[in-house]
Amino acid sequence: QSCTQKYIVKNYFYYYLFKFSAALGEEIFYITFLPFTYWNIDHSVSRRMIIVWSIVMYIGQVCKDILKWPRPLSPPVVKLEMRTNAEYGMPSTHAMAATAISFSFFIATMNQYKYPFELGLAAAFVFSTLVCLSRIYTGMHTVLDVIGGALISAALLVLLYPVWDTIDHLLLTSPFCPLFSIVVPLILCYNYPKLDYYSPTRGDTTTILGAAAGATVGFWLNNQYAAPAYTSKSLQPGFPLVTSTMVFVLARFFVGMLIVLLTRWVMKSVVLGTLGYRYKFPIRDLEARRRLEVEVPYKFVTYSSVGFTATVIVPLLHELLGLM
């Protein structure tokens, strides 16, 4: 698995299209699109997307390590990625995430914003299809992995849709929400299925659940103690297209991302430094950072801080700077 096949790119359009599409199912997309939705579109849409995304991704990651279906053999395929090569293949969590995010966004916005139903459905289908095809093109999944991931995600969406308003209401109003949002994900992370060798699935799952936990606590805190931000007075029905509005949208996004990335860097350094002191290992020791007692608290605390910052600290800063 450590060997890299040499390859020649003959069609740069497909190469860059699918490399970009593959990135739409990774952290760089989650950490930009989900906060952007919260800051610039609608709180309720963002909350529902995060609920669906975290549940779908946890189930997908666990299924991988329970089923233990191998990824495509190389050769005959050429693998354009190596980081996730240590993971199992079935189901494709890229396909699951793309299906969950695109269609939950479509479902949550179709009754709140004025746009053609067919256009929204087509956009969700194109987005999820591009991500699915990218996993085949990059050699990371078989067709069956991708179809399985998309179908599992679709089935979970069908099951969650009737109750996501109820879940959302409980997460906003229940006094037990902060405790539940932290304790349950931590239990799931510490009891993640064990493998005979290291796989990044546990760390990625902890990252996702940590971010969702921090965001959920932020949602609850805002609902309890702060006036709702980014209401209809700052955004007119329909997606913002006016130039002056776009300036505020971009300003909120870039200021927010600066704070989010700074939070991630600071918390990562602090938590790793603390754990390194506690367990007596240098911060750059990759093997030590993969141990259960290090990886779970390190990633959970770091990304729960990111989720909390994105939903509480950044909106306060936006209000302070007059960007609301």
Any idea what the Cα angle at residue 66 is, between residues 50 and 77, rounded to 5°? 90
| Distance (Å, whole) CA 118 – CA 177 | 37
Which distant-in-sequence residues (6+ apart) come within 8 Å of 93 by Cβ?
25, 57, 60, 61, 64, 149
Q: Are 250 and 244 in contact (CB under 8 A)?
A: no
| Distance (Å, whole) CA 169 – CA 42 | 16
Catalytic positions are 94, 141
Any idea what the Cα angle at residue 200 is, between residues 198 and 206, rounded to 5°? 120
For residue 30, the surrounding DSSP H or E stretch is: helix 27-40
* Phi, psi for 33 (deg, rounded to 5): -70, -45
Residue bearing tokens 């093997």 = 287
Does the CA dihedral 270-176-311-54 come out positive or negative?
A: positive
Q: Are 57 and 96 in contact (CB under 8 A)?
A: yes
* Phi, psi for 173 (deg, rounded to 5): -115, -25
Q: Are 56 and 156 in contact (CB under 8 A)?
A: yes
| Distance (Å, whole) CA 22 – CA 102 | 14
| Token pair recorded at residue 318 | 């936006």
| Distance (Å, whole) CA 39 – CA 252 | 7
| Cis peptide upstream of residue 35 (ω within 30 degrees of 0) | no
